[in-house]
Structure 1
Amino acid sequence: MTPTPVPDADVAVDPALVRALLRAQHPDLAQLELRFADDGWDNVIYRLGDELAVRLPRREVAHALLLNEVRWLPFLAPRLPLPVPVPLYRGRPGEGYPYHWAVVPWFAGSSAASVGARVRDGYAGELAAFFRALHVPAPADAPRNLVRGVPLRDRDQALRERLEAVPEPERAALRAIWERGLAEVLHAGPRLWLHGDPHPHNMLVRDADGGDAAGTARPRLGAVIDFGDLTAGDPASDLAVAWLHFSESGREVFRTRLEGDKLYSPGTWARARAWAVNYAVLMAGLPTGDPLHGVGVHGIGQLLAEA
C-alpha cells in the first residue's frame, strides 16, 4: 500500500516558544521542567514537570479541535469511568504563536498500540464500560465532525479510493464488508456523544495489581486521551475499534457487554464493522514506523478472518 503522508505543520513549536507562552500567561508554571513528549498529526505535546503536559496545535485544523476539548471535556469527564485529559489551564495566542493551547494532566502508562492484541484483550470490558458511559444523547450544540459518526455513505468515495491500494482478493472482501454496512438502516434516535478516534494509540495502559489465576498481570486502561475528534452521531463509528484493539476473544467480551443496550440498534454492529474497514485501511497505509500502521494491519487481518 502507498503510505499516507502525515500532514505538515503550519507552525513551528519548540521549547523556547512553549517556555515563552508559559512565562507570559502562566508564570507559576514557567519554572517547571519542560521535555518534548510527542508530535502527532494535530498537536505537539511537551511534558511539564512530573504531573502536567502542554498541548499545542501544530496546524490550523487542529485549533478548532482543541477548542472542542476545552469546552466539552469538563462537562463529560465526571460521568466517565476512566481519566481523561480535562484542561487545567488554558492558553491563548501570543509570542508569535497563533492558536489557543492547554495544560492538561500527564497520565502515566504506555500507548496501547505498543502492546499486542492478546494483551489488549485484557481491558475489553473496561473499554466497553467507558463507551457505555460516554454514548449518551448529546445536546444540539455538540460538535459536528465531517468524518466521524456520520452516515457511512458520507465516507463512501474516500473509502473506495483507499481500497484501490489494497491487493486482491483482500480488496474484494473488505469492499463486501463495507457494502453490507452501507445497506443497513441509518442510526436512529438522538446523536450520541462519541470520542471520535478511540484507536489503541489514544489509550494508555498500565499493569494491574494481582493478575489472572496464573499470576500474570493483566493490563488495565489508565486513561483515554486525545478527544480532538470529539463529536456526536452514530456510535458505530466508535465501536469499530473493536477490530483494531482486540483479537476474537477480546472482541467477544467487548460486544457481549454492549449488545443488549437499547441505544444500539440491530444494525449498529454491521455499520461498526464497515467503519472498521475505513479505519484499518487508512492506518495500514501509514508509514511502517507509525504506531498505527501495525494497528491497521491487525484490523484488516481480523476483518478478513471473520469474513
Structure 2
Amino acid sequence: MDHPDSGPTTPAQVSALLDRIRYEEGVSREQITRAPRPSRIGRGWDNTQWHVGALEDGTRVVLRVPERQLAREILPHEIALLGDGASLPPSLPFSRPRLLGQIPTDAPGGPAALLTWIEGHVVAELVRSTPGAAPDLAEQLAIALAALHRPAPDGHPRGRVRGVPLVRRGAAVLAELPLLDRPTGERVRRAWEQGLGADVWDGPDLLLHGDPHPGNLVVPAPGSPREDTTRLGLIDWGDTCAGDPASDLGALFHLDPSGGALGIYLSRADWAREADARTRDALVLRARAWAARYAAAILSHPAHAEETTHAALEASARRMIDGMSAHSPARRSGR
C-alpha cells in the first residue's frame, strides 16, 4: 500500500485511528480516559505524538504515528522491543514508554503505537538553558547504556544506519561536509578519519537504543505520577537495532565532550570489563566519529525546526564540536 509522506493532520483522523487500536495483554480500552479532542504534543524528524487520553493515575497517553515511509518501516521495531518485557525488564536503570496498544503495519492506518508519555524536561532543552547540568546527565546516560548494551535478542533487527561499520556511513558524511562552515567541517572530518582508522567492532551484536541523542532523553519532572522520577528517560526507540555500541555512545560526547562519561560506561559495561585496552581505545575513536557524524547531520539538515528540539540539538552539536578541539582522543581504558 502506498502511504503519503505525513501522518494524520486532524483530531478526527487521530480519533479514527484510536478506534482501530489492538490493546496489549493486560490493557483495555476502559483503562484509558479518552481526551475530548486529540492534540499534537510532539513532533520529531520521523514521527508525531498525539495526546489522546490518560490512565487512571494521570499518566498521559499518546498515539505515535509515522511521518514518512522510513518511519513506517522502523516503528514496528520499537513496538516489538517495548512490548518485550524480557528484553527491557523494569530493573534497567532508565525509564522508557510503556506500550499500551498498536495498529499493526498491515492494518488500515498502520503502523501506530499507543504509548505512555514520560513527563519531564527534554535534556537537549535543559542543557541549552543550564549547561552545568550536562556532565551529570552524561553520567546517567553512560550508566543507562552500559546496562542496555547486552547481547541482542534473537531476531532483533540489524541496523541500516546505526550500529554499522563507519565505512558504510562515509558517503553521508562526505555529502554533509560541504554544507558546514569550514572550521566545523574540518573538525568533523578529523574525528571521522580517526574513527575510520580504528579497529572495527568484532564483538557480539549488542542491543542498542539506536538514537539516544539529547532530544530523546527526558529528565522526569518533580511530581510526576510515575514512581521512578529520579531516573533518566529514554524515548523514541524506532532506531533500535543490534550491532556496534559505538553508534549509541557517540551521544555521550554531545553531553560531555571530554569523554569522561565514556570512561564511566567502559567501567560498567559487561563486555568492556572483559575487553583489552586496544578494543576499548578503538571504541573511543569510533564513538567520537559517530558524535561528529551526528553533529554534521544536525547542523546540515534541520527538520521541522520550528516545532521540534532542533535548535537545542544544534546548540548541543556546536558545543560538542568545540569541545572536540579542546580534548584530544587520548587513549582511555575506563576508570
**TM-score range for the pair, normalised by the shorter chain length:** 0.7 to 0.9
CA contact (8 A) 2:8 2:14 kept: no
Pairwise CA RMSD? 2.6
CA contact (8 A) 1:42 1:62 kept: yes
* Distance of 2:270 and 2:16 partners within structure 1: 51
Find 1:257's aligned residue among 259, 264, 268. Answer: 264
1:87–1:180 Cα change, 3 Å = same
Q: Write the mapping of 1:163-242 to structure 2, written as runs, cut at 5 A.
A: 163-206=177-220, 221-242=231-252
Inter-CA distance 159–245: structure 2 relative to 1 (3 Å threshold): same
Contact preservation (8 Å) 1:148, 1:237: yes
User: Does structure 2 conserve the Cα–Cα contact (< 8 Å) formed by 1:122 and 1:220?
Assistant: no
Q: What secondary structure sits across from 1:62 in the alignment?
A: helix
The farther-off stretch of 166-175 and 176-185 is: 166-175
Q: 3-state DSSP class of the match of 1:263?
A: helix
Q: Spell out the pairing of 1:110-149 with structure 2 (5 A cutoff).
A: 110-116=121-127, 117-149=131-163
| 2:63 paired with 1:54 | yes
**Contact 1:22 1:30 (C-alpha < 8 Å) held by counterparts:** no
SS in 1 for 2:157: coil
CA gap 1:49/1:273 in 2 versus in 1, 3 angstroms:
same
Closer, same or farther: CA 43–161 of 1 in aligned 2, 3 Å: same
Distance 1:77 1:161, change over 3 A: same
- Structure 1 residue ranges, 4+ long, deviating more than 6 angstroms after superposition: none
Name 2:35's counterpart in structure 1: 32
Distance 1:100 1:172 in 2: 41
Unaligned runs of 5+ in 1: 1-7, 210-218
Aligned to 1:213: none
What's the secondary structure of 1:44's corresponding residue? Answer: strand
Q: Is the 8 A contact 2:34 2:52 kept in 1?
A: no
1:271 Cα deviation from its structure 2 partner: 0.5
1:80 alignment partner, SS class = coil
Q: In 2, distance between residues paired with 1:125 and 1:193? A: 19
SS of 2:51 mapped into structure 1? strand
Quote the offset at 1:30 in angstroms: 7.1
**Structure 1 residues 184-233: Cα deviation after superposition (integer angstroms, max 9, x where no partner):** 11101211011110000101113679xxxxxxxxx954411000000011
User: 2:14 corresponds to which residue?
Assistant: 18
Aligned partner of 1:299 among 320, 331, 334? 320
Matched residues in 1 for 2:205 and 2:16: separation?
A: 41
Moved more, 178-187 or 98-107: 98-107
Partners of 1:191 and 1:234 within 8 A in 2: yes
Cα 1:102–1:152 shift into 2, 3 Å: same
Corresponding residue number in structure 1 for 2:114: 103
Give me the TM-score of the superposition, normalised by structure 2.
Answer: 0.77
User: Which digits, 9 at most, give the CA deviation of each residue in 1:78-98, with x for residues without a partner?
Assistant: 152212123111224699x53
> How many angstroms does 1:306 deviate by?
2.0
Q: CA deviation at 1:142?
A: 1.1
Give the CA deviation at 1:45: 0.5
Contact 2:210 2:241 in 1 (8 A): yes
Shift of the alpha carbon at 1:257? Answer: 1.7
TM superposition score normalised by structure 1:
0.84
- Any idea what SS the aligned residue of 1:98 has? coil
Q: Quick one: structure 1 residues 277 and 126, their matched pair in 2 at CA, closer, same or farther if it must change by over 3 Å?
A: same
Identity, % of aligned positions:
31
